Structure 1
Amino acid sequence: MIVRTVAQTTGTPHHASGPGWDSKRLIVAADQVGYSVHDTTVKEGAEQILEYKHHIEANYCFAGEGEVVDVASGITYPLRPGTIYVLDKHDRHILRALKGDLRLVCVFNPALAGAETHQADGSYAPLDTAATD
């Protein structure tokens, strides 16, 4: 059984951040469960252009309000507590935190190693080239 808290993860190599975002990676590739789980905060006013070329990501919003834009279609979807969105086709998207910090539980498949930050194109490197623990 794996039991971890956000407090235990804060300040460790599994606590990653970048401009406008902060992510505590609670479950990572080394846990060998096939996915990673993150507690992620996107700061109010932040906008990120992302495209996970090597991962499928599900995001469950539990605080704040924002929106996600599907770049291919131009459709904007509102995000508020109780909303989930899944980037099941490696969708290029724009994520915006509009009202309060956007708080998300993020699940990645394949799992992230834990210390990754976004590459210039908004993706994470595939695990075989990412730093592992």
Structure 2
Amino acid sequence: MIVRHLKDCEASERRVVSENWESTRMLLKDDQMGFSFHITTIYANTETHIWYQNHLESVYCMSGTGEIETLADGKVYPIEPGMLYILDQHDEHLLRATTEMKMACVFNPPLSGKEVHDENGVYPVDDSK
């Protein structure tokens, strides 16, 4: 059994900070569960271009408000607590936070821990065993 507390993960190398967000990666590839689990804070009044070409992601909003716009069709979906969105088609999107948002995120394949978005909004794939 794996047991971790968010506050302990936040005080470790599992916390990754970027310009528009920070993510505490509570479950990673080396845990060998086949997915990773993160608690991510999206900073208020930000817009982030994301395109997970190598990963599928589901995101549950725990607090805050914003919106997600899928670039293929221009649809905009409001984000509020209790909403789950699933990027099941490697959807290129813009994530906008009106207020600070706390999100619970699951990635498949799992992240190894230090990933940040490249210039295209992509996380690289970790092919190591």
TM-score, length-normalised on structure 1? 0.93
The answer for the alignment partner of 2:21 in structure 1 is 21
Q: Partner of 2:100: helix, strand, or coil? A: strand
Deviations 1:74-102 (CA, angstroms, capped at 9, x unpaired): 0000000000001101000000001x201
Q: Distance in 2 between matches of 1:14 and 1:116?
A: 11
Q: Distance in 1 between matches of 2:105 and 2:47?
A: 17
The answer for the alignment partner of 1:51 in structure 2 is 51
Post-superposition, which runs of at least 4 consecutive aligned residues in structure 1 deviate over 4 A? none
| The 10-residue stretch of structure 1 (34-43 or 116-125) with the greater mean CA deviation from structure 2 | 116-125
Residue identity matched to 1:95: L
Q: State the Cα distance separating 1:117 from its structure 2 match.
A: 1.0
Task: Tell me the number of residue pairs that the alignment of Structure 1 and Structure 2 aligns.
Answer: 129
Q: Distance in 2 between matches of 1:77 and 1:62?
A: 16
The answer for the alignment partner of 1:30 in structure 2 is 30
- Percent identity between the two aligned chains: 39
Deviations 1:13-52 (CA, angstroms, capped at 9, x unpaired): 2111111100000000000000000000001101100000
Q: State the Cα distance separating 1:110 from its structure 2 match.
A: 0.3
